[in-house]
Amino acid sequence: MSYVPIIDLNDFLSGHVEKKRRFVKELGDAYHEVGFVIVRNHGISERLIEDLYREVKAFFSLPLEIKLKYERKELNGQRGYVPFGREHAKHTTVPDLKEFFQFGQTVTDGDPIKAEYPDNVWVEELPGFNEVMVNAFRSFEIAGNHLLRAIALYLELPENYFEKKVHNGNSILRAIHYPPITSDPGSALRAEQHEDINLITLLVGASAEGLEILTVEGNWVPVTALPGQIVVNVGDMLQRLTNNRLRSTTHRVVNPPPELWHTSRYSIPFFLHPRSDMRLDCLGSCISLENPRRYEPITAGEYLNERLVEIGLKPAKA
């Protein structure tokens, strides 16, 4: 736990100038050195988290034929149910040992960007599931936007730099079920080592241990948020924007020991994405003789498409 710094979002929101300044530095330095932080007083209610996990477990407990009603193959896994064994890390073809359900942005203010997003998939058998996904999405979005304001200040940008870029952004709330392991998995892991695609990822209270991050020394260390805390890490889009000043750290979910193969694991990350037209071109302030520009110019939408092909959710164009 000591490898990943713990910070208190109340320090940023308190209105106290020195506490806010210290929070910005602690967050930015952690993202520069580690790529992960643990956040307390994040504003996502414990009741909402409990409701979210209850409904998610209820969905994955449904018979497979019912879950498959909510698969939308034409949407390349961006909404609805994605069956076991469909997704893999970009450097391997071995599927992860998981199934998941994806819930996306709901545009309610007449923004034309609504045309870019498919409708969310509503689960008929569990009306509480739909409601809690909407509420959790909004709650994660608010917490994430606070953190982006702090990141902007750390990068010596205007505090509202990300505000319009992420308004009605292409974020995803992903409910993941890692089922019991029923036979020797060989080289397959619950989630093979990878980096996230987006700006930042917010992860609340996984139901079991298993998350590990790769240190700069090449060691794997476990990360577990205690009750009342969330784990928040940098994604590749933010790493790209900052020309590697902020680190998108490799992480994985390892299999439990054999005596616990019979158990499930649940995890619900929120992948905070910008609008598709946001430029991810390296910030000029992050380019220097010591750190020359490492990435070609690209938009968030173009980059997302590339990565969805790499992880097997979207077919490559012929």
Average pLDDT over residues 295-301: 96
pLDDT top residue among 181 and 45: 45
* Burial class of residue 225 (count of CB atoms within 10 Å of its CB; 0-12, 13-18, 19+): buried
67 within a domain of the structure (yes/no): yes
185 within a domain of the structure (yes/no): yes
Q: Which domain holds residue 83?
A: 6-310
252 within a domain of the structure (yes/no): yes
Verdict on whether the full-model pTM lies above 0.75: yes
316 within a domain of the structure (yes/no): no
pLDDT at 89 over 70: no
User: Which pLDDT score is estimated for 207?
Assistant: 57
Across the chain, mean pLDDT equals 92
315 within a domain of the structure (yes/no): no
Q: How far apart are CA 134 and CA 119, in angstroms?
A: 13
Average pLDDT over residues 223-240: 93
pLDDT at 210 over 90: no
Given a contact cutoff of 8 angstroms between Cβ atoms, the answer to whether 60 and 247 are in contact is: no
Residue 271: strand, helix, or coil: strand
The number of folded domains in the chain is 1
User: Which pLDDT score is estimated for 318?
Assistant: 46
Average pLDDT over residues 235-256: 95
318 within a domain of the structure (yes/no): no
Q: How far apart are CA 210 and CA 245, in angstroms?
A: 27
Alpha carbon dihedral 311, 126, 50, 275, in 10-degree steps, equals: 40
Q: Which amino acid is at 234?
A: V
pLDDT at 254 over 60: yes
pLDDT at 36 over 70: yes
27 within a domain of the structure (yes/no): yes
1 within a domain of the structure (yes/no): no
Q: Which residue has the tokens 């209610």?
A: 45
Query: At 277, which CATH number?
Result: 2.60.120.330
pLDDT top residue among 115 and 209: 115
